[in-house]
Structure 1
Amino acid sequence: MSELIQLIKTELAQPVDPRVVDFAASIAAQYGEASRAVLFYGSCLRTTELDGQMLDFYLIVSSYEVAYGKSWLVRANKLLPPNVFPAEHDGLVAKIAVLSEEDFARLCSVKAGDVSVWARFAQPSRLVWLATNLAPETIVEAIAEAPVTLFQRTLPVMGAEYTSLSDIWREGFSRTYDCELRAERAGRSSSVVDCEPERYERLGMATTATIAKRMGVGPNGEVPNFASPDATEQFWRKMKRRGKLLTLARLAKASGTYAGGIDYLAWKINRHAGTGYVIKPWQRKWPILGALTMLPRLIAGGAIK
């Protein structure tokens, strides 16, 4: 077992608040035999604050056909993964992103067509529910690709001036944040690393060792680049254009799966950007149009980027 796999496996198994475990079990029960694993991640994991917050879960399912009773949800999840749904349990609220095992593994890897999944799972997460007939290695191996992908997509554009592994993490997260319409303040990518510097140091060393083992090492012992600097910069420009369009498309899709989605968007923006945006009644009635008219004003005002 590689050091990277062992680190991810140990991290995923760390305990969380029992209420999170109970919530995850209720999510899995809702999807019955389709449920394979439930992962907990995001700001509530970092801060351990649950009450009054929006928890973040990923539900991994065997297939969308088994998970859903409606064919349009199957098509939506395949065309524009993930589908996102609201959930409540024992006084807590959450949003649940649904991915198949196949899509989850692909979207954590360098084969992913956007950054959203591997950027999130290069950060800490917890495996809070697992199907009895599924080995945890299936999830561990998928998640272990996320930091590898981040490093492979970031190292080629790091100048000679970078001096530490934390510089790679910060640059990588900064670029992924730029690929989505996000409400977080400037410097959020650095604060994520600063929250657990030892974790990122250990994981960074294991990640570079994994890349070196796969690709060999250069003449001076350096980790080889996955692609040229020019090709990598082109990749990031493409991801930035594509990512912001995908954010809008997912918001539009969520209007059919996520009751009150526009209110959640406003809550998240106000929480992270310190704004006081208030949703108007007509925006709740026509949430897609409301969101589209809301976003340009917030972008112009710097609330989201």
Structure 2
Amino acid sequence: MTRRLIDLVRDELLQPADPRAAAMAGALAARYPDASRAVLFYGSCLREANLDGLMLDFYLIVSDYRAAYGKGWLAHANSLVPPNVFPFEHHGLVAKYAVLSEADFARLNSPAADNVSVWARFAQPARLLWASDDLARQRAVAAVAQAAPTLLSLAQPIASAGEGILGLWRTGFALTYGAELRAERKGRSLSIVDADPERYRRFGEAALADGLPPVPADAPDRWKHLQRRGKRLSVIRLAKASFTYAGGIDYLAWKINRHAGTQIMIKPWQRRWPILGAITLLPRLLRGGAIR
């Protein structure tokens, strides 16, 4: 990996963010004093000037799951189907945070990942708002720096010839949206690049200059596998979140309504039995195109 790409990733991750988000990241790290290694802020809220009323998105990177949770079932669940997701509130702001070990964060940003959920997000802008020490900071930067080359290498055999680097990015994001159950409107994957084309041109050129990871010979089949596995994992994570995330089904409805322009209302029985509620909701959402 070239110094150029590492430098671009580091400079972007270390840019300042809203001070309230930074304070929230520090408070989140303090909840896991024996395990916290880094806290990253990502997602649509990164571009918002006013965070009130929004749901912020963080990744908490820990040394390992047992250090974070002890010997309980949460450590096993996080290892078996990473990440675990939890709600968090701090000084009037609300957030959700996903927990990954340093090893899983590095793996899930790389071509070795068996799903797109981490590298698809960290190929986009993010901020490193807290790190326990310089080594944790370096490891977070190195992990994130794998995300763009992973996306571009997998998109390259699928992209149309002559589209250029921005077309390659658009193809990559469109494919990742097909590999998860997403609540965004159609075309959202394209607007990611259009929001800051110069950023994606710089990062893409740096990744290409270094040479992308080897392109799988069976790239179309690899994408079919990622799509099937990604959608299964989305359902499994939703079920798992019903245990780890208080009010998770209400958050699901809020996110879908916000991104897809729907007016889904959660019924009392769905709150009492959130797994069953989510399962009964899913076919309706798929038929209506609210999630894809």
Q: TM-score range by the shorter chain?
A: over 0.9
* Corresponding residue for residue 71 of structure 1: 72
Q: Secondary structure at the match of 1:300?
A: helix
* Corresponding residue for residue 165 of structure 1: 165
TM score, norm. by length of structure 1: 0.93
- The one-letter code matched in structure 2 to 1:121 is F
Q: Secondary structure at the match of 1:156?
A: coil
* Corresponding residue for residue 232 of structure 1: 219
1:280 aligns with one of 259, 267, 277: 267
**Coordinate RMSD, CA, aligned:** 1.2
User: 1:1-305 maps to which residues of 2 (within 5 A)?
Assistant: 2-132=3-133, 134-160=135-161, 162-211=162-211, 226-228=215-217, 231-305=218-292
Evaluate the alpha carbon distance shift between residue 135 and residue 81 of structure 1 in structure 2; reply closer, same or farther with a 3 A threshold. Answer: closer
Query: Counterparts of 2:49 and 2:13 in 1: how far apart (Å)?
Result: 15
1:51-96 deviation digits (Å, cap 9, x = unpaired): 1000000000000000003520010000000000000000000000
Query: Counterparts of 1:49 and 1:191 in 2: how far apart (Å)?
Result: 21
TM score, norm. by length of structure 2: 0.97
- Give the paired residue count: 291
Q: Secondary structure at the match of 2:271?
A: helix
Tell me how far 1:47 sits from its aligned partner.
2.8
Q: Secondary structure at the match of 1:265?
A: helix
1:97-120 deviation digits (Å, cap 9, x = unpaired): 000000000000000010000000
- The one-letter code matched in structure 2 to 1:23 is M
Tell me how far 1:211 sits from its aligned partner.
1.7
Q: Secondary structure at the match of 2:290?
A: coil
Tell me how far 1:133 sits from its aligned partner.
5.5
- The one-letter code matched in structure 2 to 1:256 is F
Report if the CA contact (8 A) 2:120-2:173 is conserved: yes
Report if the CA contact (8 A) 1:36-1:134 is conserved: no
Query: Counterparts of 2:187 and 2:36 in 1: how far apart (Å)?
Result: 36
1:197-235 deviation digits (Å, cap 9, x = unpaired): 1100000000111226xx7xxxxxxxxx6123xx00000
Query: Counterparts of 1:62 and 1:227 in 2: how far apart (Å)?
Result: 31
**Structure 1: unaligned runs, 5 residues or longer:** 216-224
Evaluate the alpha carbon distance shift between residue 210 and residue 120 of structure 1 in structure 2; reply closer, same or farther with a 3 A threshold. Answer: same
Query: Counterparts of 2:157 and 2:288 in 1: how far apart (Å)?
Result: 33
**Structure 2: unaligned runs, 5 residues or longer:** none
Q: Secondary structure at the match of 1:129?
A: strand
